[in-house]
Each structure stands twice: as C-alpha cells, then as structure tokens.
Chains A and B, each alone.
Chain A
Amino acid sequence: MVNEKQELQTHKKEAPVEAERTRNRRVYIPSVDIIEKKDAIILLADMPGVDENAVNIVLDKNVLTISGTVEVDHHKGYDLSYAEYGVGDYERAFTLSEGIDQDKIEATVTNGVLRLILPKAEPLRPKKIEVKAS
C-alpha cells in the first residue's frame, strides 16, 4: 500500500478567491491526511512556516476551518534569485460528520505539521456486544 520508494513530490495549490481578504497575501490550500481511528479522527495538515501561535482553528456547526498565518521573511540585502515555492497563508475548510465531541478537540503543531485530534462523541464509538451463553 505504501511505497517507500515513491518519490516525494511537492506543489502548493493556491486557494481560489471566494471573498477578498484584508491581507494582501497569497493563500494556499494545505495538503492533508485524514485518518479514522477507533475513537477519533486525526487530521494532519502540512503548513510549513506556521507554529502553534499562528494557527487558527474554528469549528462552526459542522464546518471546521483551519488557517495559519506565515511571517514572510524577506531576507534583507538579498535578492530572490530562484523560486520554486511561494510563501503565504494557509486556509482550508472541512465539513465534518455529526458526532465529533467538539469540546475535546486537540491541536498541536510540530515541524510545520498541524495535528488535530477530533474525538468521536460517545454514542458513535463502536460497542462490542457480548453474546451470552444461554
């Protein structure tokens, strides 16, 4: 399933402009992995340049919006002579299914990767039903 030899590829997708933003900044869509675990959904988002203070997570009804602001480092006295990527903010929204325990969402940022743990609400966790011997 997972090919170790697979070459890493990179390209940042720029977010379409839906509403004009106040900051004159490019906005990129972070790449995400979403993993379903037994009692939680894990969301991993690549947001290089973002730390725990610059990330914003809003859950409004069922819409989860993650955004991150990046401090653009214009190296003073240097010219950008070659560029493969652009620097900008990140934003992406997801519609969650019902049954996320909204009070227990946890978020951490390490090495530019946002990790969100969305715990499933109690009634949705799988229950094992014991079969009694008669």
Chain B
Amino acid sequence: MWWPEFGRFQRTWDPWREMQRIQREMDRLISRATIPYSQDFPAIDVWVSENDAIITAEMPGIDPQAIEISLKGDSLSLSGSRSPEELKEGEAYHRQERAHGRFSRSLRLPFQVDPGKVTAKYEKGVLTIDLPRAEEDKPRKIQIKKE
C-alpha cells in the first residue's frame, strides 16, 4: 500500500543515494586538501635513488643528543623524547598544541644499507639521515654473452 508509493518516491529523490553522493564529494574534497599522514611521530619523507636513500623527519625542538638512531639489517629505528616547558608556580598554559613525550618508530628501508656509511644531521629541527646502499646489495648489470 505504502511501499509502491515509496518505490516511486525513491526514483525521484533517494536519500541514501544523496548521502552517498555527499560522502563521495567529501572524500574528494578531503583527499585534495591533505596529504595522507600517519599519526606516528616523527613524520618522515623518504627520498630514494639507485644507490642511496635519504630520510628526512620534522622533529622541532629536540636535543640532538637525545635522538637515537639504530640500524639493523634493513630496518631503521628512531627514538627520543621532547620535554615540555617547565612551569614555575603561578605560570600557566593558555594554549598547548605542541606535543611532547617519548616517541619511537621504525621503518623498513627499500634496500640493505652499509651501516658504516650512514650519516645523520639535525638542522633547524629537521633530521636528515643519509643511507648509502650496501655494495653487495647494489643491482648488477648482467652482460649477455655473444655466441
């Protein structure tokens, strides 16, 4: 009785379809507006060439002595901590957006790395780790013998 009516109604204006359309629009907007990020700290970018990889990480306000970088095979781990501003009595936060605490994360490198040649620098709050590819892991060109 009522259902056929609804079927007819559906053809003209379907709330579900409308919601899906809105969701698609939203997804499109969101994907355009942001870079996908992980909630891990620090955020990293990885630059790769044939013989080398560079990892950069934004980690402002960290004592370089307190950053630990360790390498095992093709896995690299980063850890450290950032301490909050120490408040004396009578001092208060009006706004606190900068995160603090311990962090550690590890990531798998695209190739085996020569641990002896890894260098890292920390400048302007950005950590840059240079990871040269291990000699034995480099691709070899194979010559085709002529008959």
Contact residues of A with B, CB < 8 Å? 2-12, 14, 31-38, 41-42, 44, 46-51, 73, 75, 77-87, 109-113
Contacts and interface: CB of A to CB of B under 8 A. Distances in A.
Nearest to A4: B101
Contacts of B93: 33-36
B94 A34 contact: yes
Interface residues of B, number: 51
Nearest to B122: A111
A78 B64 CA distance: 26
Q: Considering residues B44, B92, B97, which has the most beta carbons from chain A within 10 angstroms of its beta carbon?
A: B97
Contacts, number: 156
B96 interface: yes
B123 to A, nearest CB: 8
Given A10-B40, A84-B44, A32 B124 contact: no
Contact of B102 (A2, A8, A80): A8
B145 interface: no
Nearest to B34: A14
Nearest to B38: A84
Contact of B87 (A6, A35, A73): A35
Interface in B58-96: 58-64, 82, 84-85, 87-88, 90-96
Given A4-B101, A36-B92, 6 more contacts: A10-B99, A36-B93, A44-B61, A44-B98, A46-B98, A75-B47
30 contacts: A5-B101, A8-B103, A10-B39, A11-B39, A12-B58, A32-B95, A32-B97, A33-B96, A35-B94, A36-B93, A44-B61, A46-B61, A46-B98, A48-B60, A49-B126, A78-B47, A78-B48, A78-B54, A79-B48, A81-B46, A81-B110, A84-B44, A85-B35, A85-B44, A87-B45, A111-B60, A111-B63, A112-B61, A113-B61, A113-B125
B125 A8 contact: no
A20 to B, nearest CB: 17
B81 to A, nearest CB: 8
A85 B43 contact: yes
